Amino acid sequence: MGIYEELGIRPVINANATLTRLGGSRLAPGVAEAMAEAGQSFVDLRALQRAVGAEIARLTHNEACYVSSGAAAGLTLVTAACIAGTDPERRERLPFTADLKNEVIIHSHTRVQYDFGVRMAGVRLVEIGSPAGTSTNELIAAITPRTAAMFFFPRGQEERGELPLEAAVEICHARGIPVIVDAAAQLPPKSNLWSFTQRGADAVIFSGGKGLRGPQPTGLILGKRELIEAITHHGPPNPFIGRGMKVGKEELCGILAAVRWYLDHDETQDAAFYELAVAEVVRAFEAHPAVSARRIWPCEAGQPIPRTELLLDEARLGRTRDEVLTALRNGEPSVEVGEGLGATLWINPQTLEPQELPLLLERLEQELQVLSHK
């Protein structure tokens, strides 16, 4: 009996995204082995964090790296470092920040729910811009003596109206304000591991358990040496704001194995499978009376990955989009797809294995039959 079966938990075919609620991603080859080996000995954890950080920094062409317990923890720790640096008295006071720098600038058109991780360190978010974008003047006007940092939550390709990262960096750096990028889900492409910092960001954050396929409770903070050093002072095992965001020796060795795998593996092979999967889903619904399928681009966080969008004619189908989502989830095997806009479903190949594709197609065809009796 399998480990999940024994617990009455059904494995899911995930054609949605690298979602934490579905388990994030599959461990890359070599990660479980590295974790198992790491679990066999005691080590100096601080020294291991430094050694793993140095190696990941080298591999990703960055000055320094800190491994956090996920991108969300990375947001809290980097904010703590921007507020309190390495000052021991300030470190102990967090998250109470009266009379410290406690404002963080964010752009309203890129707001995501994860900015709670920033607020957790004790700051107030200062939202600038509009859904159309942010101007240079709006950024300059928002900066005060209390500004601790500016955060960017990019959605992949820079959008129209968005203040270019370089322009934001120039304005902020002239005033001594660090610029932090949350690119948690923005892999692929591999080059994002170094491009944001090369373009001037002081730090960029990635999830270890999404595109990197490392342990779920890991994340990378890549960037300037001084900032990473300050993060180390706030992070575990030190008993301060990061103590509840523990990363074990197993995760540290696991994420290093994942980064090595990720940088070595062939992205063009992934891309070929993604195109094949999208084409097969589109073909399966070519002549369907109530579903029209098309390839869309890019993926949910702006990654260069195609998806299929299925537009449902709910009246003809005799089922609403949400009823289809529920039926897919409750059927056997359970299938998760993305909730698109309006009456659409998004089928994402990023989290699929080739052998799951025929099963996925079968389940989609089952649940998207025209129910003539309705």
What residues line the site for ligand PLP (CB under 6 A)?
20, 70-72, 112, 114, 153, 182, 184-185, 207, 209, 219, 301
| Residue whose CB is less far from ligand PLP, 182 or 367 | 182
| Residue whose CB is less far from ligand PLP, 182 or 202 | 182
Burial 79-98 (b: 16+ CB within 10 A, else e): bbbbbbbeeeebbebbeebe
| Residue whose CB is less far from ligand PLP, 206 or 285 | 206
Residue indicated by tokens 């360190």 = 121
> What is the nearest approach in angstroms of ligand PLP to the Cβ of residue 181?
10
> What is the nearest approach in angstroms of ligand PLP to the Cβ of residue 219?
5
Q: Phi then psi for 223, rounded to 5 degrees?
A: 165, -150
How far apart (Å, rounded) are the C-alpha atoms in residues 284 and 361?
7
> What is the nearest approach in angstroms of ligand PLP to the Cβ of residue 228?
18
Q: Which residue is nearest to ligand PLP (CB)?
A: 70
| Residue whose CB is less far from ligand PLP, 156 or 178 | 156
How far apart (Å, rounded) are the C-alpha atoms in residues 203 and 73?
14
| Residue whose CB is less far from ligand PLP, 62 or 68 | 68
> What is the nearest approach in angstroms of ligand PLP to the Cβ of residue 91?
22
> What is the nearest approach in angstroms of ligand PLP to the Cβ of residue 118?
10
| Residue whose CB is less far from ligand PLP, 154 or 306 | 154
At how many degrees (to 10) do helices 45-59 and 249-264 cross? 10
| Residue whose CB is less far from ligand PLP, 185 or 230 | 185
Residue 60 CB coordination number (10 Å): 21
> What is the nearest approach in angstroms of ligand PLP to the Cβ of residue 18?
8
> What is the nearest approach in angstroms of ligand PLP to the Cβ of residue 13?
21
